[in-house]
Amino acid sequence: MEIIKNNSWLMLFVLFTCFSLKSHVSFGADTISANQSLSGDQTIVSKGGVFVFGFFNPAPGKSSNYYIGMWYNKVSERTIVWVANREQPVSDRFSSVLNISDGNLVLFNESQLPIWSTNLTATSRRSVDAVLLDEGNLVLRDLSNNLSEPLWQSFDHPAHTWIPGMKLTFNKRNNVSQLLTSWKNKENPAPGLFSLELAPDGSNQYVILWNRSEQYWRSGTWDDNAKIFSLVPEMTLNYIYNFSYVSNENESYFTYNVKDSTYTSRFIMDF
C-alpha cells in the first residue's frame, strides 16, 4: 500500500482497469414493473446487453451470503460494479424478493423483512418502475408524468466502482460528498477501510481517506488547461480516456468516458 500512497501514476492505474469486450451478448428484460419481482436466479439485462442485475454470491463455496447488485454482461469473469444490500446479505436468494412496494424498490429477505430500499417518501398512488440502463445506472422512474429526472438512481449511491459517465460529486448546497468506498475484502462487499471523495474544503482535489477520517492519498488540484490533477501528471498518457471536471454554484464533480467503445472500463476503490 505504501507504493500506491507514494506513486500517483501507479495509483491511477490501480484504480483504472480495462477489459476487452467479449463478442457474445445475452439479452433479457431490462425493467422491473409494479407487478413483477426479482428472485432466485432471475435477472434483468440492460437493453444493449451491457449490464446484468440480480442476486450473486461473491464467494461461492465459502459463504452462503447473497447480495443483489449489478455486473458486466460482456466480461467473462463476473465483475461486480454496484451492490444494493452491502451490509445486509440474504441467505436464501430463492425466498428473498426484490419488487416495487409503495413507490419504492424494496428488497425483502427470506423472512420477508425489508432490508434495503430506495427509501423515498412512500405513496401508493405513484406508478413507478425500475430500469437498468446500458450506462450502468439503475433508475426508478415515475410513470405518471413525462419528466426525465429519475425519482432515484444508483449513480447517486456509488459503491466501490466508478463507471464512465458517472459523477462523483460534492454537493455545495448541503455540503455532502458522494463516497466511493472499498469492499472489506474480495469476498465481502460491506464498506471497507478506504474511501474516495472530492475534498469538501473547496480545493478541487480528490482524497482517499483511511477509516473515513485519516487522509491517505490526494490527487492535487485540478488543472483545467492540462485536464489533469496536479499530482497525477501521467493522466496525459491515458489516451483512451476523456477527463472532465465541473464546478458550479450547486456542485463540483469529476467524470470520464472511454474514447474506444471496444473497451469497457471501471474506476475501482480497491480494498
Residue 8's pLDDT is what?
43
- Widest CA span in the chain: 56
| Bridging pattern class, strands 67-72 and 51-56 | antiparallel
Give Cα 203 to chain centroid, integer Å: 24
Residue 147's pLDDT is what?
63
List the beta bridge partners of residue 247.
252
Radius of gyration of the chain (CA): 19
- Alpha helices for the chain (secondary structure H): 2-6, 8-15
Q: Tell me if the pTM is above 0.75.
A: yes
CATH architecture of 27-157: Orthogonal Prism (2.90)
Q: Which three cell numbers stand for residue 185?
A: 475484502
Residue 199's pLDDT is what?
85
**By C-alpha distance, which of 110, 109, 117, 124 is closest to 152?**
117
Answer yes or no: are the C-beta atoms of 150 and 157 closer than 8 Å.
no
| Ranges in the chain annotated CATH 2.90.10.10 | 27-157
pLDDT tens series, the chain, 271 aa: 333 344 443 344 344 544 433 333 333 499 998 888 999 999 999 999 999 999 999 988 888 999 999 999 988 889 999 999 999 999 999 999 999 988 899 999 999 999 999 988 865 556 888 999 999 999 998 887 766 788 999 999 999 999 999 999 998 888 888 999 999 999 999 999 999 988 888 788 888 888 878 888 898 888 888 888 889 888 877 678 888 888 888 999 988 888 887 788 888 999 9
Residue 21's pLDDT is what?
39
Q: Which three cell numbers stand for residue 73?
A: 454482461
CA neighbours closer than 13 Å in the CB half-sphere of residue 171:
8
Residue 1's pLDDT is what?
34
Please report which helix (H) or strand (E) contains residue 191, including its range: strand 188-198
Residue 125's pLDDT is what?
56
**CB atoms near residue 200 (< 10 Å):** 14
